[in-house]
Structure 1
Amino acid sequence: MSMIPVNEPLLDGNELKYLEECIRTGWISSEGPFVARFEENFAARVGRKYGVAVSNGTVALEASLVALGIGCGDEVILPAFTIISCASAVVRAGAKPVLVDSDPLTWNMDVSRIESRITPRTKAIMAVHIYGLPVDMKPLLDLADRYGLHVIEDAAEAHGLTCYGAPCGSFGDISTFSFYPNKLVTTGEGGMIVTDDAGLADKCRSLRNLCFKPEKRFVHDELGYNFRMTNLQAALGLAQLERLDEFAQRKRFMGKRYSELLSGVEGLEIPLECTGYAENIYWVFGIVLKDGLQFDAERMMRQLGGKKIGTRPFFWPMHEQPVFRKMGMFDGEQYPVAERLARRGFYLPSGLAVTERQIATVCSVLADALKENAA
């Protein structure tokens, strides 16, 4: 049996046509016309006025925090269970990340725990949509409004997803996306900032381009970054965006097929199909090993890898990251749901190119491996 990779994108639309246009015209840098087209179309797709294309999702968060004026002495509330980009962006801005544990069913930030983490120094809440279901945004936005807090929506994993019927990426002051190869829309590497605030959009555009001044290019009043997206990347992204509805439908089909085949397998917790405010888009198909099993995700992943099934671990909690511990952060803090998810969760092959036959193989091999380990 050939290896079933954890992710393989689909690149069989207009990607080659648009890339050939870039090469034929010579527009391969960030000055090319596909960048503006991609920004405009992507922003419109998520119901925003402005889009700012950048080099990846991590820098999209970093630029957003700076644009909002968040810095030294400020606090930003975010989930303990997320990718390190979220917390590192806060730290690099000079602010303090304040953590919230996860909801055990959706794996997202437990919104009911946010208010207790608000202090006079809190400036923003970072809502991060995890693995296919969104954060419950309505109470989060109500809370932010009541306390006068900014909302940064990290929708990196939420292409095509909705919450209360509105597109993810349309909530709060500013939203960010990633276009890494495992996302529904990929540019290889890349990201997008979207907002309805013209001032924030202009600030992000300046920050991504070294804060060049239009009237005197090489004289700088501020220090910016080189966070630019190339025309080649934007061309790829535009072709991918044209198929987002198709890709979202395919992801949901894959998720439901996995659910059907694994629903009767002992020892597994599988993702919720829906909540009262959203339908799972199954960006990845994650599973959590139940506590009764006397082995963890790491052992199961090794075993599946030996049988040519690609997997990837869940996020490691922010308060247990060695780099932050060295910095003296999160001392003595515990987030038991996040800790459990990290140790007992992982996800299965979930790329858009995975076939129904491969899904069936994955489920069969997983069920056999669980039986072997439980014996």
Structure 2
Amino acid sequence: MTPSIPFIDLKAQSNQIRDKINSRITQVIDHGGFILGPEVQELEDRLAAYSGAKHAISCANGTDALQLILMAEGIGPGDVVFVPAMTFVATVEVVPLLGATPFFVDVLPDTFNIDPKSLEQAIVDAKAQGLKPRAVIAVDLFGQPADYVAVNQLAQENGLVVIADAAQSFGGSSNGEKTGRLAQWTSTSFFPAKPLGCYGDGGAIFTDDAAQAELIKSLRVHGKGSHKYENVRIGINSRLDTLQAAILIEKLAIFESELQARQEIAGYYSERLQEYVDVPFVKENNMSAWAQYTLLCREREQLQERLKEKGIPTVCYYPIALHEQKGYLSYPCVSSGLKVSQMLAKQVISLPMHPYLDRKVQDYIIDTVIDSL
């Protein structure tokens, strides 16, 4: 009989902390503060302490987190925001929503994160086209932080705002600094499938700037001033509801142990698969949060079909590079090309990854991959 293997096993996690989550939910129902209740502030304090950032501000989802940051920086018509072509569409869609221009940059063939040399060329290209570079959104794809040393240096030289899109990397680190402190701004997502996920939608923003943190708090509540019915700026409605905050508090309490489990599972995958296929590369002094465990395979469709026959789910993130998406064909691309992004879109394939993937099931997945190859 073919086994049923979940790609991400949220039930196994909830079974570990079900009583604590139920207790937290009951507390919220009892006090009735369903919007920006006390658990929201508690979660924000805990997120800031965990990340090392001075301020963590929650919001409705990871996409809003990116938009709120751009709004706080006053980015709009006439401005260029550099984005990698290999990522989820949320990274780029917030840019034209504010009237700004996304400019596509290529990624590295080993980490899959933004290529600093491609970014450097894109900055030159944008200026030559009479455009105004304002910001770069560096995505930590699949859980590994981007090269923020290089990106921050380029940004400083060219007057750019750096935004770390850490939707997949919260819990990861680089050179001893955790996600949340690697760039001027950091956004993350608490979508259920993320390493730290809630039971709905949610997101957060990290910054060390107290004034900017207060600005974000205003923007997320309709541009609120000193009270609910004073609106001092144009804002949006992007509040994390209290029930999700309560759930995340309990999930954050076990997060570190789950990250350790992810490290061990990823290490075992790589140990056994490295002779047969291109396994993920993690830079020295980097720690991935392992949101996904992603291989490179030229015969991806055949491998995916064979694994499906054996009851093993896989996901291809992301099969169409952003600059080739119909809604984004009109936006500029770096002159040196986006060959790596196009290659990855055709070859990446992710295997089941979550902290509760036991060794017996993992061996079955690995053996099936090897047999299929």
TM score, norm. by length of structure 2: 0.91
Give 3-state SS (helix, strand or coil) of 1:312's partner: coil
The 5-angstrom pairing of residues 39-118 of structure 1 reads: 39-118=44-123
Whether 1:317 aligns to 2:321 is yes
8 A Cα contact 1:8 1:182, kept in partner: no
Equivalent of residue 329 in structure 1, options 328, 331, 341: 331
Cα distance in 1 between the residues matched to 2:103 and 2:157: 19
1:135 maps to 146
Give 3-state SS (helix, strand or coil) of 1:3's partner: coil
Pairs aligned (count): 358
Q: How much identity, in percent, do the aligned residues show? A: 28
AA aligned to 1:321 is: Q
Q: Deviations over 1:318-349 (max 9, x none)?
A: 11112212xx2248974111111111111000
AA aligned to 2:344 is: L
8 A Cα contact 1:79 1:109, kept in partner: yes
Give 3-state SS (helix, strand or coil) of 1:127's partner: strand
Whether 1:155 aligns to 2:158 is no
Do the aligned partners of residues 220 and 282 (structure 1) sit closer, same or farther apart at CA in structure 2, a change above 3 Å counting? Answer: closer
Cα distance in 2 between the residues matched to 1:207 and 1:338: 34
AA aligned to 2:271 is: E
Give 3-state SS (helix, strand or coil) of 2:294's partner: strand
Do the aligned partners of residues 114 and 358 (structure 1) sit closer, same or farther apart at CA in structure 2, a change above 3 Å counting? Answer: same
Cα distance in 1 between the residues matched to 2:288 and 2:36: 37
2:274 maps to 263
Give 3-state SS (helix, strand or coil) of 2:345's partner: helix
Give 3-state SS (helix, strand or coil) of 2:342's partner: helix
8 A Cα contact 1:185 1:244, kept in partner: yes
Cα distance in 2 between the residues matched to 1:2 and 1:210: 49
Whether 1:190 aligns to 2:202 is yes
The 5-angstrom pairing of residues 184-333 of structure 1 reads: 184-188=195-199, 189-215=201-227, 217-265=228-276, 268-272=277-281, 274-290=282-298, 295=299, 297-315=300-318, 316-325=320-329, 328-330=330-332
Do the aligned partners of residues 31 and 279 (structure 1) sit closer, same or farther apart at CA in structure 2, a change above 3 Å counting? Answer: closer
Q: Deviations over 1:79-105 (max 9, x none)?
A: 111111111011112111112111111
Cα distance in 2 between the residues matched to 1:286 and 1:107: 10
Deviation at 1:39, TM superposition (A): 0.7
AA aligned to 2:233 is: E
Deviation at 1:65, TM superposition (A): 0.7
Give 3-state SS (helix, strand or coil) of 2:82's partner: strand
Give 3-state SS (helix, strand or coil) of 1:71's partner: coil
Equivalent of residue 26 in structure 1, options 20, 28, 32: 32
2:5 maps to 4
Do the aligned partners of residues 303 and 25 (structure 1) sit closer, same or farther apart at CA in structure 2, a change above 3 Å counting? Answer: same
Cα distance in 1 between the residues matched to 2:362 and 2:115: 31
Q: Deviations over 1:292-320 (max 9, x none)?
A: xxx3x234323322321111112231111
8 A Cα contact 1:74 1:96, kept in partner: yes
Cα distance in 2 between the residues matched to 1:355 and 1:181: 20
Cα distance in 1 between the residues matched to 2:349 and 2:302: 11
Deviation at 1:276, TM superposition (A): 2.9
Deviation at 1:246, TM superposition (A): 0.5
Give 3-state SS (helix, strand or coil) of 1:82's partner: coil
Cα distance in 2 between the residues matched to 1:24 and 1:75: 47
Deviation at 1:255, TM superposition (A): 0.0
Give 3-state SS (helix, strand or coil) of 1:347's partner: strand
* Worse-superposed segment, 252-261 or 15-24: 15-24
Indicate the RMSD between aligned Cα atoms, in angstroms.
1.8
* Worse-superposed segment, 116-125 or 298-307: 298-307
Cα distance in 2 between the residues matched to 1:324 and 1:5: 33
* Worse-superposed segment, 1-10 or 67-76: 1-10
Cα distance in 2 between the residues matched to 1:187 and 1:332: 37
Cα distance in 1 between the residues matched to 2:182 and 2:272: 35
Deviation at 1:221, TM superposition (A): 4.1
Cα distance in 2 between the residues matched to 1:289 and 1:19: 44
Which runs of 5 or more residues in structure 2 are unaligned? none
Whether 1:354 aligns to 2:352 is no
Cα distance in 1 between the residues matched to 2:307 and 2:370: 10
Give 3-state SS (helix, strand or coil) of 1:75's partner: strand
Deviation at 1:356, TM superposition (A): 1.6
Deviation at 1:283, TM superposition (A): 2.3
8 A Cα contact 1:301 1:311, kept in partner: yes
Deviation at 1:2, TM superposition (A): 2.9
AA aligned to 2:369 is: L
1:373 maps to none
Deviation at 1:132, TM superposition (A): 2.6
Give 3-state SS (helix, strand or coil) of 1:194's partner: strand
Give 3-state SS (helix, strand or coil) of 1:160's partner: coil
Give 3-state SS (helix, strand or coil) of 1:126's partner: strand
